[in-house]
Amino acid sequence: MDKDEGEALGDWLFPPPEPVPFDPVVVKTPDLPVWTANKARLIAHYIRLFQYVTHHGTYIDGFAGPQSPEQPDSWSAEMVLSLQPLWLRHFHLCDMERDQVRALRTLRTRHHALDIHVYQGDFNRKVDDILRPGVLHPEATFCLLDQRTFECNWETVVKLSKFKAGADTKIELFYFLAQGWFERACSGLGPEGRRQAEAWWGRPDWQTLESMTAWARARAFAQRFQNELGYLSVKPWAIYASAGEQGRLMYHMVHATDHVEAPKLMARAYAAAVGHARVGDQLELISTD
């Protein structure tokens, strides 16, 4: 890594915090593969901290249906809605598939006291129904974009970043970036898939990402979120296939925020969900890859 790149990365890195204990009853530990369980735990831990700072808020989940119906503990929306205490006040949950939307409606029924809106369809289109004054309240808003690989168009991310509903900060984003199967997914794309990949990256040069290392791809996204979308802090958080030091890097969760306290909260959530040692691993990898 050259000196300029190191200085640029230094703008969005910080020393790892001390590990923070969490009540395992409040944020339960799913019986899942490590990389699936860690994502669900990370989201739940962060939202728990997020609402401690905001004392209110709106939660948007663009790909909200359960990805593993036979393993409901992998379901981020379920885990967030089950947090105690829960101070978030409004929820917008979207998915395309009929079975997943049925599950979302059942989830809404179980939490009938909450203000939960369920949308069926492509989030790239349904986002326009959510991003409206009077639909989104002027309060801190968090949006989870837990796509499979190429489902979330860059234009959708741009819309989220630009929307202002009277809140002090941009909509906070948590963006799923596939890594462990990225090259395989690219190699299997037909004409329609290649068009989708271009819409996902938002530019015709998406194939340049294939030859990058996982960390270089993560940096490319982080730089676009910061330089093009104007977020104050953007950090990719790595999720590995196993708990061991040699675990395969499966994906990054890219966190983009304007709130000055949010990066610290995410570091605490990551340490609690994934393991404090991994925070140090991550910082070393970002600075040397």
The pLDDT tens digits for 127-155 are: 999 999 889 999 999 999 999 999 999 99
The predicted-structure confidence for 1-50, as pLDDT tens digits, reads as follows 444 444 444 443 444 444 434 333 333 333 333 445 668 789 999 999 99
- pLDDT at position 70 is 56
Quote the radius of gyration of the chain (alpha carbons, Å).
18
The CA distance from 174 to 145, in Å, is 6
For the question of whether the overall pTM of this predicted structure is more than 0.85, the answer is no
Question: Of 63, 110, 72, 108, which is closest to residue 90 (Cα–Cα)?
Answer: 108
Question: Beta strands of the chain (E only): which ranges?
Answer: 58-61, 90-95, 115-120, 141-145, 172-178, 233-240, 249-257
The predicted-structure confidence for 96-113, as pLDDT tens digits, reads as follows 999 999 999 999 999 999
Q: Which domains does the chain have, with CATH numbers?
A: 3-288 (3.40.50.150)
Give the pLDDT band of residue 73 (cuts 50, 70, 90). Answer: low
Averaged pLDDT score across all residues of the chain: 83
User: What are the tokens at 165?
Assistant: 């509903």
Contact by Cβ (8 Å): 164, 136: no
Contact by Cβ (8 Å): 144, 127: no
